[in-house]
Structure 1
Amino acid sequence: MADRGVRDEIRAEADRLEENATFGQQGNLEAAKLWTGWSWGLGSVIAVGSAVGGVLTFATDALQYLAGGLALLAAAATGVHGTLRPAKRAERAQSVAVQFLSVQDRARRLRRVDALTSTDDSVLRDRLDVIASQLDAARERADPTPRWAYRRAKRNIERDGGQTHRVDA
């Protein structure tokens, strides 16, 4: 049996879940971009520093100092890369973003389709609980979103319409 007040509250809560998932997804995509950049940047420094430094070890006096400097730079970049593990962080952020997207889609369908067509509020409530649990699971897997990533996500969503489907525009 459908109760209009309960149905409206279920739709409102589904809207909140969708909004949280939207910001979670976009924030993690922004963080993934940064970590991917760090991975490529540090990897490039390691590769170029090692290769050029290795070649220059066979050079004459002055260039051997440059070779030593490049070797030290490559070693430092290797240490930073190994400590930060940017590729792993980027992969995790992308994976969590996909999880948030799934929650976002399910919450939107609950709010825009199921809540309008279902005749049983208890079924809707159960679906809402499942979606909320999935959002909690995504949050647990996610690293905290850096402030700059949140600001970029907010701009992408609110100003640039980055999460709007054509049919909704």
Structure 2
Amino acid sequence: MTSTAAPRARAGAAPASPPPSTTLVELTWIEKKVENWIRFGHDTYERILDRRRRVMGFAPNSVFAFVRWAANEFGTIISRIDIVRAVGAGEPFQTLPFVRPGGDILLKIEGWPKVERVLQAIDAIEAIGVDPVDVSPDHWRHIHNRLTASEEPRAYSAEQHRAFLLRRRAEP
């Protein structure tokens, strides 16, 4: 499993309220019961509520991966990963538990074996030197579609990433 460490604490006092148009994600970490964390993403706001809970904020158009896992005395009851693009004011969005107001969901996978495949894909992207927040949204949709169909997704390559960056730069 990747990045299972408890949420980090940040030095200094958090601002009382997040910047306008910030997408907020509520995180909870109760060891071996409820473990919600951000696998990747560049937050612009963080407020620690208590030892186990915090709220992180993401600027419009930023991408982040939100992992949710919960268990009871009988075992795992939810394993899920969502890769989300934070939306700006007035943009349409999809709702998602613990995410306010919601976001553009690029990937939504449930069940530990498939979640693990997504985490491995993220690791592979990082291994080629690419920050997952910069990956083409189409690639996250590709992984979602392939895993939903119980097929193997194609790997993201450095060449594919360069082509995406050039295409994005050429857009008006």
Between the two structures, name the one with larger relative contact order (CA 8 Å, sep ≥ 6).
1
Pick the structure with more helix per residue: 1
TM-score where L is the length of structure 1: 0.24
Larger radius of gyration between Structure 1 and Structure 2: 1
